[in-house]
Amino acid sequence: MCGIIGLTGYEDISAELINGLTVIQHRGQDAAGIVTLNGRFRMKKGPGHVSRVFRNYDPEAFRGKCGLGHVRYATMGSTLEVDAQPIAVNYPYGLAMVHNGNVINFQELRKRLYDDNMRLLDTSNDVALILYSFAAQLEKKDLKNLKVDDIFDVVSEVQDLVKGAYSALTIIANKGFLAFTDPYGIRPLVMGKKYTDQGTVYAFASETTVFDFLGYEMIRDLEPGEAVFIDNEMNIHSKILKKDKQAFCVFEYIYFAREDSVFHKRLVASERVKMGKKLAKTFKESGIDPDIIIDVPNSAYFFASGLAEEVNVPYRRGLAKNRFIGRSFITPTQKERENVVKQKLNPIKDIIKGRKVAVVDDSIVRGTTSRHIIHLLREYGAEKVFFVSASPPIKYPCIYGIDMSVRKEMVASHYKNYEDIARVIGADAVVYQKLEDLQELYHDLPICDACFSGNYPTGITKEILEHIESEKMNSDRA
């Protein structure tokens, strides 16, 4: 999972690219980068947060009317600078690209690109596979008379070749700006615009919160399998190319996106409140009797408040968070995750002591965070601790770009009984959202719930799954 931004218009957009990236920093902390076009590509990228990468940024060096930005969260590949985005090639056109998602037929595509085109990848980042596949198909066109339909044909070929989840933004030098999505629309991509004295500037981003911050007006979400091309005269061309059954990642609503973002006309904060309210029936059926309901800040606040309102149990803020510590879920190794959890949360003793506490979190994956929180609450005098997951049990790895680890590390995959899970993480009881209840909330928006159900919308072979899990285990050990 990553965060992407693309801007094209009539004025210098480099500062907006960087400012926009800071708004979606939560989507990736491993690396950041931008590329602008002004006669040639001007690129800067590196490891770490946006503020670190652009600490000595020279605005004049990156002036341009068209540009891309990226923050990386490395679910696959290394965290080296060579794997940071954007990436660019100079043939058959100047092409620069960023993407959000995960390619699942990585090995097959790598071999094909070498066998057919003698292209040897110098990176383990799968955006290179998409870009080189795009370039290889583009070479087959009449490059001197390249038309919009030719570009759409190329995207269609790429959608056939590249399997997995992806939202991609591409600059085609001297031709225009391209955005496209995978046939299932798994990863989010939204389009906006802003009127200036020079003309309209168009923006694409992983989340609408970028538009709020930069003063853009939301136009719409891109459809599954859609391509949008904005030519040099700022004419917009769009076409749905390879559309399959939509499968929007429900984890965007559960955890990954900011609460003020909107996807498919649904505010993330409101969706989390609905999920919290939906939990109420299962919560009551469990027979637990807490004195207070607290949340694991920050993503679980709306789940906890919705649940508390529905079951008529007081909500309290029982955990203080160090806001200068990053998200533990998207740190690359288990050891780093444990260190982040230890540093970022501290119970508020007067609220916790002597009370039966139901603590709500967005999910339980490995149990690392849950176990540590429960231990802390007991240390600070909680009489009982019940752990409540706003999502169903996570039993299967996400192969589409969210770091769900490997199955043997998932507590709900290893232990089928909730009592056993409660024992392992140290809780008096565990309550999960029911999968059927979550699915009911999205009866009118087809979602990807593969991490809960094992139903992968793109399909999956045993060999591919084993390779992805092997790569993940190797990167965690690195």
Catalytic residue positions, numbered? 2
Instruction: Decide if 281 contacts 436 (C-beta within 8 A).
Output: no
Q: Cα angle at 75 between 249 and 338, to 5 degrees?
A: 105
| 71 DSSP β-pair partners | 3, 32
**Tokens encoding 193:** 């615009």
Whether the Cβ atoms of residue 136 and residue 117 lie closer than 8 Å to each other: yes
The kind and range of the H/E element at 432 are strand 429-432
Strands 262-263 and 266-267: antiparallel
- Distance separating alpha carbons of residues 334 and 414, to the nearest angstrom: 17
The neighbour count for residue 350, using CB atoms within 10 Å, is 10
Q: Is there a contact between 387 and 288 (Cβ–Cβ < 8 Å)? A: no
Burial of 17 (0-12, 13-18, 19+ CB in 10 A): buried
Dihedral sign for Cα atoms in the order 162, 168, 173, 176: positive
